[in-house]
Amino acid sequence: MKKKALILGIESSCDETAASILEENNEGVPNLLSNIVSSQEEIHKKFGGVVPELAARSHINKIDLIVDKALKKSGKKLSDIDAIAVTGGPGLIVCLSVGLNFAKTLAMTLKKPLIVVNHLEGHALSPKLVTDLKFPYLLLLISGGHSQYLAVKNLGKYKRLGTTIDDALGEAFDKTAKLIGIKFPGGPLLEKFAEKGDPEKFQLPKPIINKGGCNLSFAGLKTAVLKISKKIKTDQDKHDLAASFQKTIEEILYKKTKVAFNEFRKLYKNKNNTFVVAGGVAANKKVRKVLIELSLKENFDPIFPPLDLCGDNAAMIAMVGLEKLKIKKYDSFDHPAKPRWPLDSEAIFLKGAGVKL
Ligand code: KG4
Ligand code: ZN
């Protein structure tokens, strides 16, 4: 009987040290055996954001323990592993280097293939861990560093339909949270904080809402929040501002996703219309709700990763590793860490965000 493929995934691009063991069963279905994520929230909390040097030091201290934990939970031994998949970028270079060097040493020692994975491709393929996801599909990637609409044609084949021209959505959540006085990590706490507020209280701008196709912009929104935050006095005002921000984001995503649906339909006529939303902000329940409602109205099949697979994890890195193992797409031991690594190859030829408004 054919041996089942077994992958070790490693992730250390920012402030999560993560390792995962993923197996492909005899039917070709991925079976997640373990998914260990160690967050550095406590370390960075007092600085109100991620401090790269502290993050890297923590990865160095923990990475072998986390890999060990993932192996123990899976019931497998290191010698059972067929390949090691590791995040190579984008991310903080000092953090990426820790995971990458660890994976290279392990792969060299065990004489197993090394697969260097684009973190964003990990997010893009994360729903494959739990559902049968067919190419092509429309992807909205909303994380701390990226906000993009992409047509996912195949493994490694992406066409950018729209991108943010300034801040990423997760960044906008985090900066807004800071202005309102909500603690780190801003995004998830702002969502909870907003539940006690009146979303109609403050009118916030929706930059480039009627132009620029499905490109996005959040910087003006943050400036408006800054002005209001200087005037408000009560705690209730703060809840109202958070709720107004949350509602404005929902409205922007609703409108821009509608535009992205049309662009995707033009590209792929008569194909199954699948819409995947991935990245940290995909965990926002209200964002999920409005995008599911819109998808059903527009005949798109909405797919979100489960909540625990929206944020950074190594299972999604192992998932890409499994796909690459099937086509024997391995990397050399001198593969560098890439702090910038766009998914779409055209992006490197574009000046700035390459967006015409
Ligand atoms: O994908 P991710 O874990 O890391 C990156 O690759 O960037 O995304 C992290 C981002 C952070 O900005 C975080 O505040 C945001 O996702 N985020 C949220 C929520 N959960 C995480 N933003 C809004 N609502 C949430 N529930
Ligand atoms: Zn991420």
Residue 257 has pLDDT above 90, yes or no: yes
Instruction: Calculate how far, in angstroms, residue 187's C-alpha sits from the geometric centre of ligand 1.
Output: 6
Residue 349 has pLDDT above 90, yes or no: no
Q: Which two tokens stand for residue 324?
A: 């690459």
Instruction: Please count the other Cβ atoms lying within 10 Å of the Cβ belonging to residue 75.
Output: 10
Atom 10 of ligand 1, nearest CA residue: 144
Instruction: Calculate how far, in angstroms, residue 51's C-alpha sits from the geometric centre of ligand 2.
Output: 16
Ligand nearest to the CA of 178: 1
Confidence of residue 2 (pLDDT cuts 50, 70, 90): low
Residue 285 CA to residue 292 CA, distance in Å, equals 10
Q: For position 208, what pLDDT does the model report?
A: 97
pLDDT in tens, 208-244: 999 999 999 999 999 999 999 999 999 999 999 999 9
122 lines ligand 1 (CB under 6 A): no
Instruction: Calculate how far, in angstroms, residue 16's C-alpha sits from the geometric centre of ligand 2.
Output: 10
pLDDT in tens, 171-186: 999 999 999 999 888 9
Instruction: Calculate how far, in angstroms, residue 201's C-alpha sits from the geometric centre of ligand 2.
Output: 32
pLDDT in tens, 111-124: 999 999 999 999 99
283 lines ligand 1 (CB under 6 A): yes
What's this model's pTM, rounded to 2 decimal places? 0.95
197 lines ligand 1 (CB under 6 A): no
Residue 348 has pLDDT above 90, yes or no: no
Mean pLDDT computed over every residue of the chain = 95
Residue 140 has pLDDT above 60, yes or no: yes
Confidence of residue 353 (pLDDT cuts 50, 70, 90): low
Instruction: Calculate how far, in angstroms, residue 305's C-alpha sits from the geometric centre of ligand 1.
Output: 13
The pick from 12, 143, 182, 288 for probing ligand 1's pocket by mutation, whose C-beta has the most ligand atoms within 8 angstroms, reads 143
24 lines ligand 1 (CB under 6 A): no
Closest atom of ligand 1 to CA, residue 311: 3
Longest Cα separation, the chain: 70
Confidence of residue 272 (pLDDT cuts 50, 70, 90): confident
Confidence of residue 351 (pLDDT cuts 50, 70, 90): very low
Torsion angle (degrees, nearest 10) of CA 299, 281, 103, 338: 90
174 lines ligand 1 (CB under 6 A): yes
Instruction: Calculate how far, in angstroms, residue 280's C-alpha sits from the geometric centre of ligand 1.
Output: 3
Residue 34 has pLDDT above 60, yes or no: yes
102-140: buried (b, 16+ CB within 10 Å) or exposed (e) per residue?
bbbebbeeeebbbbbbbbbbbbbbbbbbbeebeebbbbb
Residue 247 CA to residue 107 CA, distance in Å, equals 47
CB of 286 closer than 8 Å to CB of 248: no
Confidence of residue 352 (pLDDT cuts 50, 70, 90): very low
Ligand nearest to the CA of 190: 1
All structural domains of the chain: 6-128+309-344 (3.30.420.40), 135-304 (3.30.420.40)
Q: For position 354, what pLDDT does the model report?
A: 56
